[in-house]
Amino acid sequence: MGKVIKPNEPLVTHIYSADPAAHVFEGKIYIYASHDRDLDIPSNDNGDQYDMVDYHVLSIDDFNSPCRDHGAVLHLQDVPWASKQLWAPDATYRHQQYYLFFPARDHQGIFRIGVATSSSPAGPFKPQEKYIPNSFSIDPAVFTDDDQKTYLFFGGLWGGQLEKWKTGKFDPEGKEPDRSAPALGPRVAELSDDLLSFKEEPQEVLIVDESGNPILAGDEDRRYFEAPWVHKYRGNYYLSYSTGTTHCIVYAMSQNPRGPYVFKGKILNPVSGWTTHHSIVQFGDKWYLFYHDASLSGGADNKRCIKYTELKYNEDGTIPTIEL
Ligand code: FUB
């Protein structure tokens, strides 16, 4: 067992870890994480440097405990449909099982989203033979509403290929919209009761400004790039995400899980490293932001470490920017 964890320090230092999806299961916090390898791969816009082959689950009993690494819970070689790049995962619980949702490139090099199941929140996870039919792009985030409907949010630009799905079919030449056109939004689809397929065609989630106008593709401080996370607080839905090229975590609010979401502001300023990725979880009566940066490796984009910090709300439900 290691040291008691502290805010804004790496949860673990014996491996590189990234893309934290934190959930409370069985009274503890479980963090479903990408496992960055200690490889020196030159960075490019396609994200080839993020060449991960397994997932680790981390857990903490509470915020006065050490962090436990439950080891590799799913390996690329055990996923029949996947060829490379196990990127940001998420997890949920249903029907006495834990479900891990994860993106990877299929054998044609196209990002898809798969599901793996376990009887324990700490895994190991057994993957389905095939990816979720009609799934595409990256960064699945699963959200179950109070009415027990479960939604999968997903999508990411550039290496995440979202711009190649503008027509609903994969177009290898697909580009981002013009800077003056509405930005691409993440996609959402309600999941079937067994959580193994989509109940419907994925729909685009609209993000608008306070006047109701769509956020534009050239508005890089506000437009969606990747890493969606949806949570609910006092009856409002919050969609938070990475702005990619401007390296912030921002958020928008809605009265409906499918949106439209109204842009509100910044949760987290840029951290070290190109990517920023987070999750938001309630534990007891406090809320926490789990995030990653590249501090453990001295700034290498593809060697990141997971940290946490407290997240607060203003009286009106807005979230003040966290100053690290
Ligand atoms: O870890 C690989 C990719 O980097 C994730 O899928 C993105 O969200 C970014 O964190």
**Cβ distance 281 to 23 under 8 Å?**
yes
Rounded distance from Cα 34 to ligand 1 centre (Å): 8
Choice from 56, 248, 277 to test ligand 1 binding pocket (greatest atom count within 8 A of CB) = 277
∠ Cα 171 155 133 (to 5°): 70
Contacts made by residues 15-18, CB under 8 angstroms, sequence distance 24+? 15/56, 15/69, 16/296, 16/297, 16/303, 16/304, 16/305, 17/56, 17/58, 17/292, 17/304, 17/305, 17/306, 18/88, 18/275, 18/277, 18/292, 18/304, 18/305, 18/306
> Which pLDDT value is given to residue 24?
98
Confidence of residue 180 (pLDDT cuts 50, 70, 90): very high
Span 219-248, mean pLDDT?
A: 98
- Testing ligand 1's pocket by substitution, the residue of 226, 268, 278, 307 carrying the most ligand atoms inside 8 A of its CB is 226
Question: How would DSSP label each residue in 18-51?
Answer: EEEEEEEETTEEEEEEEEE-S------TT-TT--
Q: Indicate if the pLDDT at residue 323 is higher than 60.
A: yes
The 10s digit of each residue's pLDDT in 140-160 is: 999 999 999 999 999 999 999
Tell me if 11 sits within 8 A of 292, measured CB to CB. no
Q: Does ligand 1 lie within 6 Å of residue 271's CB atom? A: no
Pocket perturbation via mutation, ligand 1, pick of 17, 35, 87 by most ligand atoms within 8 A of CB: 87
277 lines ligand 1 (CB under 6 A): yes
**In whole angstroms, what is the distance from residue 300 CA to residue 260 CA?**
36
User: Would you state the CATH architecture of domain 16-311?
Assistant: 5 Propeller (2.115)
* Per-residue pLDDT at 1 exceeds 60: no
Average pLDDT over residues 15-34: 98
Q: Report which ligand 1 atom has the smallest distance to the Cα of 226.
A: 8
For the stretch 254-271, pLDDT in tens is 999 999 999 999 999 999
What residues form DSSP beta bridges with 249?
A: 242, 268
pLDDT at residue number 187: 98
The residue nearest atom 1 of ligand 1, judged by CA position, is 87
pTM exceeds 0.75: yes
- Within the chain, residue ranges assigned H as helices are none
Ligand 1 centroid from CA 302, angstroms: 9
Q: Is the predicted pLDDT of residue 53 greater than 80, yes or no?
A: yes
By annotation, the residues acting in catalysis are 19, 226
User: Which among 37, 40, 39, 41 is positioned nearest to 56, based on CA atoms?
Assistant: 37
SS3 77: helix
Q: Report pLDDT for 123.
A: 98
Report residue 92 as tokens.
Answer: 């949920």
168 secondary structure, DSSP code: S
Pick the atom of ligand 1 nearest to 18's CA. Answer: 1
Q: What atom of ligand 1 comes closest to residue 292's alpha carbon?
A: 10
Nearest to 160 by CA among 229, 106, 116, 110: 110
Mean pLDDT for 297-323 is: 98
Q: What is the mean pLDDT of the chain?
A: 98
Q: Across the strands, what pairs with 278?
A: 291
Cβ–ligand 1 contact at 138 (below 6 Å):
yes
Domain ranges of the chain: 16-311
Determine the pLDDT at residue 2.
Answer: 77
Residues 305, 155, 240, 24, CA torsion sign = negative
- The number of beta carbons lying within 10 Å of the beta carbon of residue 314 is 8
34 Cα nearest atom in ligand 1: 1
